[in-house]
């Protein structure tokens, strides 16, 4: 039966609008109609109570959640638990993210994501392989013992076709234009991150298929007066996307404001880089044998190194509004419409319009999540 979501304030491509219903059939938005439309009268009505309906949030960088870390157990069950944890905060699509690891773990992770997509695990859109083809100089919490230069077997594994998207973060200076071309021609989305590349190397990588930048500012060469670095190349390039971690710890709000003002509109997207504490009562987890704990909202090792985040997408959106000063509709698109476009899913995800997947977030007047819908089914609230 058709579902009609009524009595809501809906974020459309033309901004927030009210006075009409969103119709859902078989997991897809079939139309937006006035309450007097016969389809609305015949539908199963779901009253939004005057709340706001947003496109579902899409997170390209999710290491963990619900108390589990993808690296620890790259299985379908882990992916399901992570998805359930993040759905509480409006995430309707995500990429389980594998931190730099050995080839056998990477293969297991890819197989798990393929199986999860095949089984219809709610929210999983593909996989993000963050490393291991990255720079020791910008390793962050990644284990440099896992780093390597991509060989033929690595390329074949990463480029293997499966049911979802493959995003690969690498350091441009640790690869070649030929390797980039092979990856891109096989459908892999390549992002630059954890890199010590200079400006010219980064521009060359962009020319050979790099599509985005993983957590802009963090673990990359900065923008300076005589060497623009990776950050300068990223902000200058009109065609690429940048992920931003807006948690008040990774990047100063002033730097975020400058970056958003400099970058072409619709090319900035929110990511969480979330770790197991998101959606869990346990503030600690173990990474590489070291206990990591959340203190004052920041996830850090004993020596103070940032180790991912305790951020969820709903909080990221609120922070982008209140901490950075971005209008709410634009902040919501940074969490939905723009990441969908980055992943090549802009024709099916990230909009509330006819023909799009019925992935929604219902938020109250304080911008907190009340309901989450994936594929036309309410999974939270």
CB 250 within 8 A of CB 305: no
In whole angstroms, give the CA distance from residue 339 to residue 24: 23
Q: Count the Cβ atoms, other than its own, within 10 Å of residue 149.
A: 11
Given CA atoms 157, 128, 264, 346 in this order, what sign does their dihedral have?
positive
**Gyration radius (Cα) of the chain, Å:** 20
Q: What tokens appear for 238 in the block?
A: 């009109």
Quickly tell me which residue has 């939905």 as its tokens.
336
In whole angstroms, give the CA distance from residue 96 to residue 64: 7
Which residues are annotated as catalytic?
A: 273
Q: What tokens appear for 354 in the block?
A: 């006819």
In whole angstroms, give the CA distance from residue 109 to residue 155: 15
In whole angstroms, give the CA distance from residue 342 to residue 291: 34
In whole angstroms, give the CA distance from residue 276 to residue 97: 12
Cα three-residue angle 117-151-306, rounded to 5 degrees: 65
- The conformational region for residue 355 under phi > 0 = left, psi -120 to 50 = alpha, else beta, is left
Residue 162 phi/psi, 5-degree rounding, is -150, -175
CB 125 within 8 A of CB 94: yes
In whole angstroms, give the CA distance from residue 18 to residue 275: 37
CB 334 within 8 A of CB 344: no
Single out the residue of 82, 168, 183 nearest to residue 128, CA to CA.
168
Q: What tokens appear for 107 in the block?
A: 């293969």
> Which residues have C-beta within 8 Å of that of residue 36, sequence separation ≥ 6?
none
In whole angstroms, give the CA distance from residue 202 to residue 207: 9
Q: What tokens appear for 335 in the block?
A: 């969490």
CB 300 within 8 A of CB 272: no
């Amino acid at each position: 039966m058709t579902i009609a979501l009524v009595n809501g304030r809906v974020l459309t491509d033309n901004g927030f609008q009210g006075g009409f219903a969103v119709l859902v059939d078989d997991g897809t938005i079939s139309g937006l109609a006035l309450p007097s439309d016969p389809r609305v009268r015949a539908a199963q009505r779901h009253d939004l109570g005057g709340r706001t309906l947003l496109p579902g949030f899409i997170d390209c960088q999710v290491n963990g959640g619900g108390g589990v870390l993808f690296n620890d157990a790259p299985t379908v069950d882990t992916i399901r638990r992570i998805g359930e944890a993040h759905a509480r905060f409006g995430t309707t699509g995500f990429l389980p993210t594998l931190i730099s690891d050995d080839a056998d773990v990477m293969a297991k992770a890819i197989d798990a994501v393929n199986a999860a997509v095949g089984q219809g695990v709610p929210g999983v859109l593909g996989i993000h392989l963050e490393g291991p083809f990255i720079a020791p100089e910008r390793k962050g919490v990644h284990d440099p013992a896992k780093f390597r230069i991509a060989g033929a077997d690595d390329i074949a594994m990463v480029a293997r076709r499966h049911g979802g998207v493959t995003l690969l973060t690498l350091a441009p200076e640790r690869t070649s234009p030929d390797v980039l071309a092979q990856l891109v021609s096989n459908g892999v989305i390549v992002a630059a991150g954890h890199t010590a590349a200079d400006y010219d190397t980064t521009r060359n990588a962009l020319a050979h298929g790099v599509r985005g930048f993983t957590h802009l500012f963090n673990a990359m060469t900065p923008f300076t007066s005589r060497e623009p670095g990776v950050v300068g190349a990223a902000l200058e390039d009109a065609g690429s996307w940048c992920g931003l971690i807006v948690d008040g710890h990774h990047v100063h709000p002033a730097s975020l404001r400058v970056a958003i003002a400099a970058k072409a509109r619709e090319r900035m997207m929110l990511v969480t880089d979330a770790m197991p504490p998101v959606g869990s009562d346990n503030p600690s987890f173990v990474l590489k044998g070291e206990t990591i704990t959340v203190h004052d909202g920041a996830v850090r090792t004993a020596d103070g190194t940032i180790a991912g985040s305790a951020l969820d997408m709903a909080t990221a959106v609120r922070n982008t509004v209140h901490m950075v000063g971005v209008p709410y509709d634009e902040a919501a698109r940074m969490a939905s419409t723009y990441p969908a476009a980055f992943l090549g899913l802009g024709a099916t995800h990230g909009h509330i319009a006819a023909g799009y997947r019925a992935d929604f977030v219902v938020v109250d007047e304080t911008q907190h999540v009340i309901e989450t819908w994936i594929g036309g089914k309410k999974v939270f609230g």
